[in-house]
Amino acid sequence: MSVDDLVRDHTRLMNVHTVLQHAAVASLACTGPRTIGPDQKQKQVEKSLSPNVVEPVQTTLSQLSITTLNKQTSPVDILPSIGPDVNDINASIVKRELDKECKRSVRYQLNLIKERQQKAINERFATQQKTEQQQLRVSNRAKREESDKLLQQQAEQLAKAELEAQQREQKALIKQNNQKLYLLTIEGVSRCHRRFCSKYELVTKLFLALDKETVQACAAHNAELRELGQLFDQLVEKLKKGSSDPPELSCVFTAEQYCQRLDRLDENLHKQLSEQQQQQLDKAKKLAEEKEKQRLLEVEEQQKQQEQKQQQLEAELKATADAAATAAAAAANVATTAATAQEAPTTEAPVTATVPASISTSYVHPTRLAFYNEINALYQSKVDAVKPLQTDEAWKKYRTNCQRTINLPLNAITATSAQHLKTNFDKLYNFFAGQPVRTTDGSTITINDHPLARDYCILLMAKKFVSQTDTAISSNPQAAFPFASVIVTFWKLLPDFGKIFLAYMYKESPYLVPYVIPQQPDQSPEQYLKTMGYRITENNELEKPDMFLKRQTGIARLYAAVIITPGRQADGPNHCFGLEEAWRWLTHIMLVKPLPDICATMIMEMLQTLGFELWRAYGRNFLKLLLYIQTAYMPQLSAYDEGGPKTRLEMLLSKFLRERQIPQAMGVLPPGFW
């Protein structure tokens, strides 16, 4: 209940009091039924007023009513006494008392109401404050939980980021350590591999120096050597693959074990060799030294013969020059005589130059014929020796794999770079050194798998090199020099290979001997031309002359390139087939029977390829040789040849003699190229 409600109740009570007073005065004159008085129940008053307030009024009214009724006064008498009467005074006193009481009651009620209201307000404020505190606590708790959750998330993210950073650092450190470990492993295995290869090459050369019986007696060591080579190759291939797992240091220990096993193998092999075998080796060395001495003696003898031939050539050139001077003088005399005596014709026959019959009818020089027969004998012995391997069907797959092993690196030989040339040479040489080679079908073969495999492979490789003249060199002259460099290197390491290579060259072109093979009485023209280098097709058709000359040009280029091209620098500067062979060929080609087209073609190709080196080495003597070719040989050639090659040769000689120089051939490998 509010204060406004209490004030309204108090005002209402005051109005009720005034009404009751007026009703009491009016009731004295009222004749009708009374509505108020002591005998009437004051229901409305009792309901509307509180007991404390109504009771005095009722008492006063009752007393007033009873007094008035007892006196039985008339309304007229009563009216004058209402004014300043005791009753009025009492009524006013009552009124004042009633007012005071009402005010006290109102104040009391107001105080109670205020107290209750204040209490309610306090309670409401306390409740609201409690509710707000609870809401604040709940909000703070939620915020705290959210903050804790956020802090936990941040802490987790920070911890995750730190963990990832640590993991990255750890991975980087592991990767760096693995890389260092890999480099250390590679370096260690590389050192062991160099040591292994050096020892392996020594042991292989030792096996190559032994005879077949001794090699068979040392078959167990040979098998162990191949096994060690395969194991080391597998270890190297494993490192080259670069798998995701870093190599272990155990690879270095494994490589070291292989090296130690090879050292023990070498020691055991030397222990196993008997004194007799050692004596045989000594004999072989002595024989090699004797052969070397004999070869040196032959070289000296050939140099002496060459000097004698040079002297003869100089004498012939001098005689030719004298004859030319004599002919010029005779022509001058004839002209003078004709001028002085025009009427009397001369009866003397003209002087004609005569050519010795030995030059026009010879086919080959005896020394060259002997060399040719020696080369052919060695070639034929090798061919006859490998027939069991070549005809055995059980070894057909092995023969095919040998051909592939040789053909693949040989076909890839170019002068692109020194490393490229060395890589392909190493593939060929490692196979001939006995190292295992993995074939295209996944199997592994070595040259020691069959006793005749070495000779068979030498024949294969020599034939393959010669076949390059028909495929690559005839159309690209510069391609001859990288092939020649590999051929010369193999010639140093395998002397038989060089002779077999020459045998194939002479078989394809006997003009390189030079040898004009005479026709036998029972030979047909086709068979004779075949012996002279022509080819017969499957349809029994003879090779066309232009194709024949093109192929012979390629053969001459390779032959000349072999003469002037150095081999691998690591095998020494010695040349097994040097520039003296070019001088020998040029001097001997002048002594054989001239043939149309082919002789001019071969001489021109030789001069273009190695004329620069011949001029630098022989100087004035080579210039005299060129003069002899121009003045003495070309007239002989003109008697048999009037074609384009002869004309081109004449122009080439004139150019060289006019310019007094010959340019170096394109594509010549520099010294120390690889």
**Which pLDDT score, from 0 to 100, does residue 342 have?**
31
Name the residue with higher pLDDT: 340 or 448.
448
Lowest mean per-residue pLDDT among 19-23, 171-175, 587-591, 596-600: 19-23
**Which pLDDT score, from 0 to 100, does residue 599 have?**
93
pLDDT beyond 90 at 537:
no
Tell me the average pLDDT across 291-318: 68
**Hey, where are the domains in the chain?**
278-332, 364-659
Task: Tell me 437's DSSP state.
Answer: E
Mean pLDDT of the chain: 78
Name the residue with higher pLDDT: 521 or 5.
521
* Six token digits for residue 410: 């040989």
**Which pLDDT score, from 0 to 100, does residue 404 have?**
93
Please name the residue that has the structure tokens 């770079």: 417
**Which pLDDT score, from 0 to 100, does residue 24 have?**
65
Confidence of residue 319 (pLDDT cuts 50, 70, 90): low
Find which of 40-54, 330-344, 631-645 is predicted with most confidence, using mean pLDDT: 631-645
User: Could you tell me the CA-to-CA distances from 352 to 69, 355, 357, 506 in Å, in that order?
Assistant: 212, 10, 15, 37
**Which pLDDT score, from 0 to 100, does residue 440 have?**
82
pLDDT beyond 80 at 609:
yes
pLDDT beyond 70 at 333:
no
Name the residue with higher pLDDT: 465 or 284.
465
Distance of alpha carbon 602 from alpha carbon 605, whole angstroms:
5
- Give the chain's radius of gyration (CA, Å): 68
pTM above 0.85, yes or no: no
Look at residues 587, 591, 568, 590 and name the one whose alpha carbon lies nearest to residue 579.
587
Confidence of residue 232 (pLDDT cuts 50, 70, 90): confident
pLDDT beyond 90 at 295:
no
Please name the residue that has the structure tokens 């009552």: 94
Tell me the average pLDDT across 22-30: 62
Instruction: Determine contact, residues 495/517, Cβ cutoff 8 Å.
Output: no
User: Could you tell me the CA-to-CA distances from 570 to 135, 484, 493, 574, 674 in Å, in that order?
Assistant: 96, 16, 11, 11, 8
Confidence of residue 352 (pLDDT cuts 50, 70, 90): very low
Residues 633-650: tens digit of each pLDDT:
999 888 887 778 999 999
Where helices occur in 386-538 by DSSP H, the ranges are 387-391, 396-411, 418-432, 453-468, 480-493, 495-508, 525-531
- The rounded percent of the chain whose pLDDT value lies above 90 is 31
**Which pLDDT score, from 0 to 100, does residue 54 have?**
40
**Which pLDDT score, from 0 to 100, does residue 461 have?**
96
Lowest mean per-residue pLDDT among 150-159, 204-213, 307-316, 502-511: 307-316
Task: For 364-659, give the CATH class.
Answer: mainly alpha
* Six token digits for residue 467: 């076949």
Which 3 state secondary structure label does DSSP give 542? strand
* Six token digits for residue 631: 């003045």
Tell me the average pLDDT across 42-55: 44
Tell me the average pLDDT across 454-458: 95
Name the residue with higher pLDDT: 77 or 274.
274
**Which pLDDT score, from 0 to 100, does residue 499 have?**
94
pLDDT beyond 60 at 626:
yes
Tell me the average pLDDT across 266-290: 68
Distance of alpha carbon 18 from alpha carbon 347, whole angstroms:
205
Please name the residue that has the structure tokens 């050192």: 191
**Which pLDDT score, from 0 to 100, does residue 361 have?**
43
- The rounded percent of the chain whose pLDDT value lies above 70 is 74
Name the residue with higher pLDDT: 434 or 94.
434
pLDDT beyond 60 at 496:
yes
* Cβ count near 141 (within 10 Å): 10
- Residues ≥6 apart with Cβ < 8 Å to 145: none
Lowest mean per-residue pLDDT among 176-185, 404-413, 434-443: 176-185
pLDDT beyond 50 at 494:
yes
Look at residues 566, 555, 511, 545 and name the one whose alpha carbon lies nearest to residue 644.
545
**Which pLDDT score, from 0 to 100, does residue 514 have?**
92
- Residues ≥6 apart with Cβ < 8 Å to 418: 673, 674
Lowest mean per-residue pLDDT among 63-77, 267-281, 326-340, 476-490: 326-340
Distance of alpha carbon 617 from alpha carbon 303, whole angstroms:
14
Could you list the beta-strand ranges (E) of 28-91.
none
Which secondary structure element, helix H or strand E, spans residue 333, and what is its range? helix 275-340
pLDDT beyond 60 at 75:
no
Please name the residue that has the structure tokens 């993995």: 438
Lowest mean per-residue pLDDT among 3-7, 127-131, 235-239, 399-403: 3-7
Confidence of residue 584 (pLDDT cuts 50, 70, 90): very high
User: Could you tell me the CA-to-CA distances from 645 to 545, 552, 561, 587, 625 in Å, in that order?
Assistant: 12, 13, 21, 19, 19
- Residues ≥6 apart with Cβ < 8 Å to 18: none
Amino acid at 617: A
String of DSSP letters for 175-195: HHHHHHHHHHHHHHHHHHHHH
pLDDT beyond 70 at 326:
no
For Cα atoms 136, 138, 140, give the angle at the middle one, nearest 5 degrees: 65
User: Could you tell me the CA-to-CA distances from 493 to 83, 627, 655 in Å, in that order?
Assistant: 170, 39, 40
CA atoms within 13 A on the CB side of 481: 21
